[in-house]
Chains A and B, each alone.
Chain A
Amino acid sequence: MPAFTPPPLPSDDKRWKIVNGTMRKNGFARHALIETLHTVQSSFGYLDDDSIRFVAQSLRVPLSQAYGVVTFYHYFSLKPPGKHTLTICAGTACYIKGADKLIAAAEQKLGIPQGQTTNDGKISLMMARCVGACSRAPVALSDGEVVGEMSGEQMLEQLERWAVE
């Protein structure tokens, strides 16, 4: 059997080298699939067909299995995120303190259901299953930064600021 040679990098984008680095660190072992997909998502913001195919070939994992893993885990996204992301935590403590109302208000304001990005690509509205800041519920992540005791007005103000940017 001929020795395995990993496929060439999809382009000369430097980020592929970071992805390749994760796989090399793990000796191109199949169990590094999730680790590598994390690296792709943190470098590119999301996973597209090209990146999944590249990772699957490099790790000698069937494409179906790689796609299965990507769609199984909520953390992986197949769509590019918007310029700004508002993530509302919907853990139990946040729910008890009215996170459902925040989500409804944000959906109404942006005109999109949670999990989507506005048509102009400016704002993504996401929902998280507990970020672990339960003592400050309801919690939202405004571009990754934790905001505790988020009020409806405060959230709508933030969305307005992003929309007119």
Chain B
Amino acid sequence: MTIEELEQIAKSVSQENEKYDFQLNVCMDLACASQGAEKLREALVKAAEACGKNVLIRRTGCMGPCSSGPLVRVDPDDVLYHHANMSHAGAIVESLGGAPVPELQCDLNDHFEKQVRVVLENAGYIDPEKIDDYIARDGYKALLTALTEMTPNGVIHRVTESGLRGRGGGGYPTGLKWGTVAKAGGDVKYVVCNGDEGDPGAFMDRSVMEGDPHRVVEGMALAAYAVGASKGFIYVRAEYPVAVARLTTALREARRRGLLGNNICNTPFNFDVEIRLGAGAFVCGEETALLASIEGKRGTPKPRPPYPAVSGLWGKPTLINNVETYANIAPIIRNGGKWFANMGSERSKGTKVFALTGKITHTGLVEVPMGIKLREIIENIGGGVPNGHTFKAVQTGGPSGGCIPAEMLDLGVSYDALMKVGSIMGSGGMIVMDDTSCMVNVARFFVEFCMTESCGKCIPCRAGTAQMHTLLTRICSGSGTMEELDLLVQLCATIKETSLCGLGMTAPNPVLSTLKYFKNEYIEHIVHKRCPAGVCTMKAPVPNTPVEVLA
């Protein structure tokens, strides 16, 4: 495969598309699929055949506003239909070339206006199972350009220049990490993609892997070229069967086109990727645990250093990045580091994809420039809290993050700003809570999650999260005391400072952040035996006998 051949494919795809008068893009992501998108697509195909119009019907990845699904976008008219079902197929096809169907037309200008699409630029425009669709939208151009015109150092330089930071949540500068792996000695190096999206309430990585799998593969190949690796692994949760299937197809197609394998683009560069399935362990999102799992072992973390960049998979230098980080690489190489660095805030560049869920009108995937105010995301893009309720808090960063109260909504979203208020960027889950959510109960939910997901290797996390859970359960059932609240705070500090890996170190965050901003709710539970949100039942007192923690 050469650049000329790539351009030839892109040209033939656009010629093929021009044969059709209209294109109907049907979103087939999980949310739309669970509302009958497949039946809608079949009905559209039938309707198009019946009326004899020249229509291309394409299945695409997530278009964003999942709560309005199933979604259909009509090109070239650029009309978006929401809540479409199979009974509307006739009307949709009928309207092509004339006025759009009024009752299905979706007015989400506010929702889309403030978004900037880099990672999701292809979502809704390509069929994720067709490599040619991806190539037609400049796919693999960055890889072939890099292989033929750039040195590995040049690639690293461009990524460094972009200011891209790790999108898994930690925010480590990507260029710096690549540079470390590139400098590490040894012939054998590995590139790993972390697709173990364990944060409950987040699905950005799933949508990217399902909607635009080649973007991840291309990002990994560029990384491999930059650091000198020839083998890659994508670690995906087994709970995401569609993502696994799409990635498998993508890898097969890329090999067939000669974009993976030996001597890619007639250069000495060899690279191939294998998929590894996770098996339901949140701790495997931690890099050393993930590597253990790829090696077929229990996913328990190891102390760092040595960092995986020096000694990772099978003791070899290993580069680990998140799905979204890799998804940003191809556009950076294509458009330059400066282009990317122009977006976002001073120390957080580019855009970030968030999964906006919970008590909010427009749930779904949004991509916004860094530095945007939380208020804009929640009120303009998300459409605010529905059913006349009032906004109470937004939770970011999942079980490692915290809750941000209403008075901080004017905060600009960046790694440092979120850290400062006691939360973290995390992988991009953003869960909105209203006045019917009890913050103590939410803290208890996250602690229970960390307790069951603790791998058990270090004691502060294994025993500490269990004791935290007991204390919070007592508070939620009206049996807690103020002394126990002090004990809880002390315990949080101990777990935070002494745990081995990120899971334990961040497990107290949900408790600490809710205590910081919603202490009155804790006091209501303890002193007045009352749950202000009406969630906790305050029955069945829990004895304060210490729990014994085994395993």
Whether A34 contacts B281 by the Cβ 8 Å rule is no
Which A127-151 residues sit within 8 Å CB-CB of chain B? 128-137, 139, 145-148
Given the known inter-chain contacts A33-B296, A134-B363, A135-B66, please indicate yes or no for A93 contacting B239, CB distance below 8 A: no
Contact between A35 and B437, CB atoms less than 8 A apart: no
Report chain B residues within 8 Å CB of A133.
Answer: 30-31, 34, 203
A134 contacts B202, CB within 8 Å? Answer: yes
Residues of A within 8 A of B437 (CB): 96
Closest A residue, CB atoms, query B62: A135
Are A92 and B34 within 8 A (Cβ)?
no
Q: Nearest Cβ in chain A — how far from B329, in angstroms? A: 23
Q: Does A76 contact B (CB under 8 A)?
A: yes
| A102: min CB distance to chain B, Å | 14
Please tell me which stretch of A9-17, A66-74, A106-114, A153-161 contacts chain B, meaning at least 4 of its Cβ atoms lie within 8 angstroms of it.
Answer: A66-74
Interface residues of A in 35-94 (CB under 8 A from B): 35, 37-38, 61, 65, 68-69, 72-76, 90-94
A30 in contact (CB, < 8 A):
yes
The reply to whether B279 and A76 contact each other, CB–CB distance below 8 Å, is yes
Q: Is the CB of A134 within 8 A of B239?
A: no
Q: Interface size bucket, A side?
A: 35 or more
Cβ of B206 and Cβ of A132 under 8 Å apart? Answer: yes
Q: Are A135 and B279 in contact (CB-based, < 8 A)?
A: no
Are A137 and B277 within 8 A (Cβ)? no
Q: In the complex, which residues 302-324 of chain B have their Cβ closer than 8 Å to any Cβ of chain A?
A: none
Give CA–CA (A31, B437) in the complex, Å: 44
Scan A116-133; emit 1 where CB is below 8 A from any B CB, else 0. Answer: 000000000000111111
A34 touches B203 (CB 8 A): no
**Does A105 count as interface, using CB distance less than 8 angstroms?**
no
> Are A73 and B31 neighbours in the complex by a CB distance under 8 Å?
no
B276 within 8 A of A: yes
In the bound complex, CA of A134 to CA of B445 (Å): 16
Q: For B200, what are the chain A residues with a Cβ–Cβ distance below 8 Å?
A: 90-95, 129-130
State in angstroms the CA–CA spacing of A107 and B206 once bound together: 30
Interchain CB contact (< 8 A) of A132 among B239, B298, B446? B239
Task: Give complex CA distance A75, B236 in Å.
Answer: 13
**B433 in contact with A96 (CB, 8 Å):** yes
Taking A73-B280, A132-B203, A132-B239 as contacts, is the C-beta distance between A93 and B296 under 8 angstroms?
Answer: no
Report the minimum CB–CB distance from B509 to chain A (whole Å). 14
The chain A residue with its CB closest to the CB of B314 is A31
Q: Which residues of B contact A93 (CB under 8 A)?
A: 200-201, 357-358, 363, 431
Q: How far is the CA of A139 from the CA of B449 in the complex (A)?
A: 18
Say yes or no: A69 contacts B358, CB within 8 Å: no
Residue in contact with A30 in the complex, picked from B34, B66, B296, B398, CB distance below 8 Å = B296
Q: State how many angstroms separate the Cβ of B143 from the closest Cβ of chain A.
A: 27
Q: How far is B279's CA from A33's CA once the two chains are assembled, in angstroms?
A: 12
Is B282 close to A, CB under 8 A? yes
Instruction: Report B131-167 residues with CB < 8 Å from chain A CB.
Output: none
Q: Report the Cα distance A15→B398, complex, angstroms.
A: 39
Contact of B277 with A35 in the complex, beta carbons under 8 Å? yes
| B542 smallest CB distance to A (angstroms) | 17
Q: Are A97 and B201 in contact (CB under 8 A)?
A: no
B1 partner residues in chain A, CB cutoff 8 A: none
CB distance from B435 to the nearest CB of A (A): 12
CB-based nearest A residue for B239: A131
From A73, A96, A137, give the contact of B279 (CB < 8 A).
A73
**Closest beta carbon of chain B to A86's beta carbon, Å:** 15
CA distance A73 to B238 in the complex (A): 11
A–B complex contacts, Cβ < 8 Å, 6 sampled: A38-B279, A65-B297, A92-B429, A129-B239, A130-B202, A146-B34
State the B residues within 8 Å of A (CB): 30-31, 33-35, 66-67, 197-203, 206, 238-240, 276-282, 293-299, 355-359, 363-365, 395, 398, 429, 431, 433, 437, 442, 445-446, 449, 453, 455
Residues of A at under 8 Å CB distance from B?
30-35, 37-38, 61, 65, 68-69, 72-76, 90-97, 128-137, 139, 145-148
Leading 8 A-B pairs by shortest Cβ distance: A91-B200, A92-B201, A135-B66, A73-B279, A75-B280, A74-B280, A130-B200, A135-B363
